Each structure stands twice: as structure tokens, then as C-alpha cells.
Structure 1
Amino acid sequence: MIQACLNGQRGAGDCAAVPLSPGAMAESAALAVAAGAAEVHVHPKTPCGGDTLSPRVVAATVTAVREAVAVPVGVTTGAWAEPDPVRRVERVRAWTVLPDLASVNWHEPGAEELAAALMERGVGVEAGVWSGTDGVRRFLASPLAGRVARVLAEVTDTDPATAAGSARLLLAELGRAHGRPVLLHGEDGGAWPVLRLARELGLDTRIGLEDVLFLPDGRRAGSNAELVAAADSGAVTWRGAAR
């Protein structure tokens, strides 16, 4: 399974193809699904381009994307979108339109309380465990670990020469992951090597402008659909970003 991660914390300054409005996200999602994506992950944005957990913006974003695609739609709950852990939970409890999934980064303060609030509302939780953090330890010790929809294993090593090795170490730390499915992905220079490893291991993965701006052959990606198509084709050997 390939999940399309449409925008992340990126903005127009990173790449003109990054979708920022609900309409742009919906259009990008439709093209990514047509290219082979089975799920969509988005970061709802304020008019200024910042990530937000605002009930109004989340509702508009999820509704627009759902009207464009018939696949599960997930959103971020990253601490950068709302730094106060208590406020973050309050925002989630105020959502009027619920996504199918929401990622919760387990190394962030208040992760368990946030995950519990999402579960209470029937939203599937993607437990984000990042390499280089104590997220794995916290997740494995959590009483909620066996109830998450999946583990979102994120490799933060962006060196294409070492990212796959870092991914193997992260997977080893996770072990059986309380029996939950694992989606493995990398970022920037590590995105394609980690995606290739995920495919070799038969794990779910993701790709999109949130994670990487370049195609495996080094050309700058023109859309999320281009990235998904490259991942779906199996031509994922990283040759370096074009200069």
C-alpha cells in the first residue's frame, strides 16, 4: 500500500506544486490516487500556509479531499500545529468533520492523551515513531499501543547512503510492534532508499511532496502524482538530486 503525503510542513517556497488550499489538496489527492495511492495524508493549512488543527480548517480540508477521492483520508496532529498539549486535545475534541486517520507523534508531549481522544471519537491513530527520538520506547510501553491503526515508522536519517540501515535499526527496535501493521518511510535524501526497503520487506509505505521533492532519477518532482507513479512502478533507485 502506498499512502500519498501531499504537503507536510512545506509551502510554496519549497515547491510551487505543494498544495495548500482545500481545493488544491483535493485536486492533488485525486491525481495521486489515480497514479496508485491507496490513502491520502494531508496537513490542513491556514490562509498563511501554516499547519493547523482548527476545526473549521480540518472540516473544509477533509470534506474537499473526500469529495475528490474514495480512499481513507488522514491528517497530522503534529505539535508544531498546536504546541500546547492540552489545547491540542481540545481542538481534536472540537472537530466537526472527522478524518479516517490521524498521525500522533509518540515522542511529543501529550501523545497518549491525544491518541486516546482520537480513539474515543472513532479516528484511527497512526502512531508516529521517529528514529533518533524516544518514540519507540514510549510507544512500546504505552497501554494504547495495541489499539492503534498502525505504526508510522519515520526514518529521519536523510543520507541516502545510510538511511536504509537506519530504517532496519528502527524496525529492529520496534520488534513485533504489539502486532500492529507498520508503514515505513523516509524523508528527503533518505525517502527513496527507505521506500525501496519497505517494498522489499513487504511493508506499507508512503511518498509525496511532504517527504521528498525529487524523483528517484534526481529530477524535481512536478506533482504528488509523479512521485506516487514512480513509487508504484518500482523504479525507486535513488540517483541523487539534480543540481
Structure 2
Amino acid sequence: MRIVACLNGDRRPGAHPALPVSHEQVVADARAAVDAGADEIHVHPRDGAGAESLEPQAVAPLLKLLRAELPDVPVSVTTALSAEPDPVRRYDLVQRWSALPDAATVNLHEPGSIEVARLLIDRRVGVEAGVWTVEAARILVASGLAEDFVRVLVEPMQAATEEALANASSIDAVLDRAGMELPRLLHGRDRTAWPVLETAVAAGRDVRIGLEDTLRDPDENAAEGNAALVQLATTRTSAAA
């Protein structure tokens, strides 16, 4: 069972006192998260103003610093439309990346997702399929690319835990019927983050945790930061082993 530290996501600067935004903050936080037990790092690169960015000049320097600090730790980055709302421009930016991550997440419900996935596969970047809905699961099955993806991120976005888990089960059912054997990571968001993580741990799945997914610990207290969240997740995965 692997733990992915999702460090910042689409959170705005200032959403949490410990949210890493600058390249230096991200690298320091990644180091601390790995020391706390994370196996992989997922990050949304930022520009000089702190906004999400897929620009090559935002992605390449960050990857260089992360590789220097954590040479043996896989790093994935986002390709979400929250970072670049224009699907055509997003494709162009990813095509112009001068440094490549180990993996990139592609949300299959977003316009242009399959084209970006094909581009990343052609560039030998591992693609993680972000599946938020049953329809997105069907897109994955119909894409013909499933064998080229490295992982499915089952990401129910419902605010209530019961509804989120029901959505995750429906997504799994679509993938199971298609005979899809890709590894599946399950995670929630905000109030569902910890209950969904507990469900994932019980099922023996990979998990992720970090300030992208939640700003609070399981007791609903404000989290100290990414390393503290990873430590809490590590305790839970170790207990289940």
C-alpha cells in the first residue's frame, strides 16, 4: 500500500498557513512528507504569483529541484483545467514541457482529456486517470488506452461520506465489469477525506493525503501541515498491515 502526499492542489495561497506555494516551499514540504512516510509526491506547480500553472517555466524548475532533493521519489503533476482552462492551450503547454514528471494526472471528465493522455503516453510519462464519476469511468473503458495508464484515481467529490462511497462503488462496478486490472487509488475531499481513506486502507488500496485533499485531521482540528497529515495516514496504514 503506497501513500501519495498531495501537497497543494488548487487551494489558493493563504488557504492554510502551511500550504506550499513557491518552489522552495514545495520542495521542503515534499522532503518532510517523505520523511513522514510518503512514497510519492503529487503537486500542482505554481507561477511567481502563486497561481496554478502548466507553463514550462513553472514545471521544469520545480521538477529539477524535486529531483535534486528526492531523486528516488516518484513525482506526479496535475494537468487539470483548473491550472489551464483552455483545453487547446493546455495541450500545447504539456507538449512544450522541457522536463517531464514521472506521472501526470488527467481528469477524464474534462474536455480534451483523452488527447492530453495520448500526448503524455507518447512522451513516456505515466498517466493516472482521474475518475470522478461513472461517466468518466466509461470514458476510460471506451478510450482504448487503459493498458497504457499506470493507475486509476477513484475520486468521489460528493460532500457527504455515504454519497461519496456510493459513487466510488459505482465507479468500481464499471471498471470491474470491463475487467480493468489497473491499480486503483481511492481518496476523498475535505470532510470525506479521512472516512474515504479509512475505506481505502481497509480495502488494501493505495491512498493519498495532504492539504490538497483536507485542511483538517481526523478529529476535525486544523492540520499542522502535509507532513503531519502523512504521519497520521502512515499510522493507519501500518495498523492495517
The alignment of Structure 1 onto Structure 2 pairs a total of residues equal to: 235
Counterparts of 1:179 and 1:167, CA distance in 2: 16
Q: Deviations over 1:69-96 (max 9, x none)?
A: 2210000000121222222111111111
Counterparts of 1:129 and 1:163, CA distance in 2: 13
Alignment of 1:32-51 (within 5 A): 32-51=33-52
Aligned-pair CA distance for 1:152? 1.0
The runs of 5 or more residues in structure 1 that have no matched partner are: 236-243
Partner of 1:80, secondary structure, is coil
Share of identical aligned residues, percent? 46
Q: Deviations over 1:101-159 (max 9, x none)?
A: 0000001111111011111111000010003x621111111111221011111010122
Alignment of 1:1-243 (within 5 A): 1-69=2-70, 70-131=72-133, 134-175=135-176, 178-234=180-236
Aligned-pair CA distance for 1:172? 2.1
CA RMSD in angstroms comes to: 1.6
Q: Is the Cα–Cα contact under 8 Å of residues 10 and 82 in structure 2 kept in the other structure? A: no
Normalising by structure 1, we get a TM-score of 0.92
Aligned-pair CA distance for 1:100? 0.3
Q: Which one-letter code corresponds to 2:226 in the other structure?
A: N
Q: Which one-letter code corresponds to 1:63 in the other structure?
A: K
Q: Which residue of 2 aligns with 1:241?
A: none
Aligned-pair CA distance for 1:177? 6.0
Aligned-pair CA distance for 1:44? 0.3
Counterparts of 2:35 and 2:158, CA distance in 1: 30
Q: Deviations over 1:152-201 (max 9, x none)?
A: 11010122354333322332232266221111111001111111111111
Q: Is the Cα–Cα contact under 8 Å of residues 131 and 137 in structure 2 kept in the other structure? A: yes
Counterparts of 1:168 and 1:134, CA distance in 2: 13
Partner of 1:179, secondary structure, is coil
**Farther-moved stretch of structure 1 (204-213 vs 161-170):** 161-170
Partner of 2:201, secondary structure, is helix
Q: Is the Cα–Cα contact under 8 Å of residues 108 and 131 in structure 2 kept in the other structure? A: yes
Counterparts of 2:191 and 2:169, CA distance in 1: 16
Normalising by structure 2, we get a TM-score of 0.93
Q: Is the Cα–Cα contact under 8 Å of residues 130 and 156 in structure 1 kept in the other structure? A: yes
